[in-house]
Amino acid sequence: MLTIWTYDWVPGGENGPRGFVRDLRLRWACEEAELDYQVRSTSFNDRGPDHFAKQPFGQIPFLEDNGITIFESGAGLLHLARKSEKLMPRDPAGEADTLQWTIAALNSVEMVSVPWSFLGGSKKPDNGLSDWLGSRLSHVEAVLRGREWIAAGRFTVADIIMADALRQTLAADMPGYPIIRAYIDRICVRPAFKKAYADQLAHFAAGD
Ligand SMILES: N[C@@H](CCC(=O)N[C@@H](CS)C(=O)NCC(=O)O)C(=O)O
């Protein structure tokens, strides 16, 4: 049985991270691939040695699978993708395309979008990262023009991570980018996303 680890609680309210916490990526992938999984909690307020032994930054999520422990949401997603063709095509070209876009979501989009959000997002007119992020989003916008999915001509694990990274950015109020918005909208109506999202909200509500 796969175990997805997340916090027992995170702050709620308008500015809280509920609905965006990265365990959602792993829940979503398991739902898409119809993998059996359970979710377990580690303390948000009291991060002890057991937690750091499994996630050296004291963050979540991390994944346990039959004696293997994996941290980093991207690594967890790629681990899950090995289990199901629904997440990763098996032909070499489709696999390579999925891999490159999975890494691009993390290392070319999220690498800019997360610090941009920490610097106040678009609420800070002097945010020094806005131009850099805008450039990255413009390129993704151009790629998605006329393309339903980000990689391999079909839904893959790359859509999970790319849509989630973009969703966080646009929720931080980055204006514009209608093609990216349409991409996020069509991906987030998927039943697997909706279930993962609802389950995450319920999980943190139970910790209140
Ligand atoms: N690169 C990591 C980032 C993990 C991350 O930022 N997790 C957040 C929750 S979404 C967290 O644990 N935040 C608490 C902290 O950084 O102390 C991944 O993708 O797994």
Domains 2-86+192-206 and 92-189 share a fold: no
23-56 tens-digit pLDDT? 999 999 999 999 999 999 999 999 999 999 999 9
Structure confidence at residue 29 (pLDDT): 98
Q: What is the dihedral of CA 18, 132, 26, 29, to 10 degrees?
A: 120
Q: How far is the CA of 63 from the centre of ligand 1 (A)?
A: 13
- 200 pLDDT more than 90: yes
Which pTM does this prediction carry? 0.97
Q: pLDDT (tens digit, 9 = 90+) per residue, 111-132?
A: 999 999 999 998 899 999 999 9
The burial of 12, by beta-carbon neighbours within 10 Å (0-12 exposed, 13-18 middle, 19 or more buried), is given as middle
Nearest CA to ligand 1 atom 13: 59
**Domain 2-86+192-206 indexed as CATH 3.40.30.10:** yes
Number of the ligand 1 atom closest to the C-alpha atom of 7: 12
Please tell me the distance from the alpha carbon of residue 31 to that of residue 82, in angstroms, as a whole number. 15
pLDDT at 102: 98
Q: How far is the CA of 62 from the centre of ligand 1 (A)?
A: 10
- The sign of the torsion formed by the CA atoms of 24, 159, 94, 113 equals negative
**What's the rounded mean pLDDT across residues 156-180?**
91
CA of residue 8 relative to chain centroid, distance: 19
Q: What is the pLDDT of residue 175?
A: 80
Average pLDDT (166-190) is 90
Angle formed by the axes of helices 178-188 and 191-206, to 10°? 80
pLDDT band at 206 (very low <50, low <70, confident <90, very high): very high
**Strands across the sheet containing 68-71:** 37-42, 2-7, 62-65, 68-71
- Per-residue pLDDT at 193 exceeds 90: yes
Residues flanking ligand 1, CB < 6 Å: 21-22, 58-61, 72-74
Q: Which amino acid is present at 52?
A: F
Average pLDDT over residues 89-101: 98
CB half-sphere exposure, 127, CA atoms < 13 A: 23
Res 54: pLDDT = 98
What pLDDT shows up at residue 169? Answer: 84
- State residue 171's pLDDT score: 75
Domain boundary assignment for the chain: 2-86+192-206, 92-189
Question: From the CA of 52, how far away is ligand 1's center (Å)?
Answer: 13
Region 92-189: CATH code: 1.20.1050.10
Q: What is the pLDDT of residue 173?
A: 75
Q: What pLDDT is attached to residue 170?
A: 83
Query: Which pLDDT value is given to residue 187?
Result: 95
CA of 59 to the centre of ligand 1 (A): 5
Nearest to 106 by CA among 76, 139, 73, 80: 73
pLDDT of residue 123: 87
